[in-house]
C-alpha cells in the first residue's frame, strides 16, 4: 500500500494519513498548549495559560567571596506568585515569599543562601538555617500541595 495524504472538508477539516500500513486521523496540528486545525475556517481552541517555574542555575559550591544560590525562571505564560511554592533543600522546606509584583513570564528570581533572611526585589536571601551542601544534596521546587515542579541534585 502506498503512503498517501488526503484532505476532506467536513464540519472540521480532517486529514487521513497512511503510514507503514497504519491509519491516522488528524484533526489538527498540535502547538504549544493548544490545537490548530489544518485548514482555515475551522474552529480553533484557545491556548491554555501555563504556570511553570524551573530551576535553571544552581551554585552548590561557591568559590571564595561568592554565595551558593539557585535561579528560578518563570517559563510559563502568566505571572507567578512565588508564595505558592516551596524550595526543598535536602529535607528542609523553604517557603518562598510573595514578590511584588509577581514573577512575570520570562523573569527570574534568585535565592541566595547567605543567611540574611530578607527580600530585595527578585533576590530572596534565605535564613541562616538553610544552606546547600557543596558535596552532595538535592534541591527541589514544589507547590504547596507537594507536587514537584523541578529537581536537581549534586553528588561528588
What are the pLDDT digits (tens) for 123-154?
Answer: 999 999 999 998 999 999 999 999 999 999 98
- Cβ 132 vs Cβ 89: under 8 Å: yes
**Domain range holding 113?**
53-155
Q: What is the CATH number of the domain that holds 122?
A: 2.60.40.1260
| Mean pLDDT over each residue of the chain, to the nearest integer | 79
Asked if residue 89 and residue 24 are part of one domain, the reply reads no
CA distance 116 to 129: 10
Q: What is the 3-state secondary structure (H, E, C) of 49-81?
A: CCCCEEEEEEECCCCCCCCCEEEEEECCCCCEC
Asked if the structure places residue 60 within a domain, the reply is yes
Q: Distance between the two ends of the chain, CA-based, in angstroms?
A: 55
Residue in the block written with cell 541566595: 112
What are the pLDDT digits (tens) for 61-97?
Answer: 999 989 999 999 999 999 999 999 999 999 999 999 9
Asked if the structure places residue 48 within a domain, the reply is no
Asked if residue 70 and residue 13 are part of one domain, the reply reads no
* Rg of the chain, C-alpha, whole Å: 23
> Measured in whole angstroms, how far is the alpha carbon of residue 76 from the centre of its chain?
6
What are the pLDDT digits (tens) for 97-109?
Answer: 999 999 999 999 9
Amino acid at each position: 500500500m502506498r503512503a498517501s495524504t488526503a484532505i476532506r472538508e467536513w464540519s472540521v477539516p480532517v486529514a487521513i494519513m497512511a503510514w507503514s500500513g497504519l491509519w491516522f486521523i488528524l484533526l489538527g496540528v498540535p502547538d504549544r498548549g493548544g490545537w490548530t486545525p489544518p485548514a482555515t475556517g475551522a474552529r480553533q481552541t484557545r491556548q491554555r495559560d501555563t504556570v511553570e517555574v524551573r530551576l535553571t542555575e544552581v551554585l552548590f559550591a561557591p568559590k571564595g567571596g561568592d554565595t551558593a544560590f539557585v535561579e528560578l525562571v518563570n517559563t510559563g505564560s502568566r505571572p507567578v506568585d512565588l508564595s505558592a511554592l516551596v524550595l526543598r533543600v535536602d529535607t528542609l522546606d523553604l517557603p518562598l515569599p510573595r514578590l511584588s509584583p509577581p514573577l512575570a513570564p520570562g523573569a527570574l528570581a534568585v535565592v541566595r543562601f547567605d543567611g540574611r533572611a530578607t527580600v530585595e526585589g527578585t533576590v530572596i536571601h534565605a535564613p541562616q538555617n538553610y544552606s546547600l551542601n557543596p558535596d552532595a544534596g538535592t534541591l527541589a521546587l514544589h507547590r504547596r500541595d507537594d507536587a514537584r515542579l523541578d529537581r536537581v541534585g549534586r553528588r561528588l
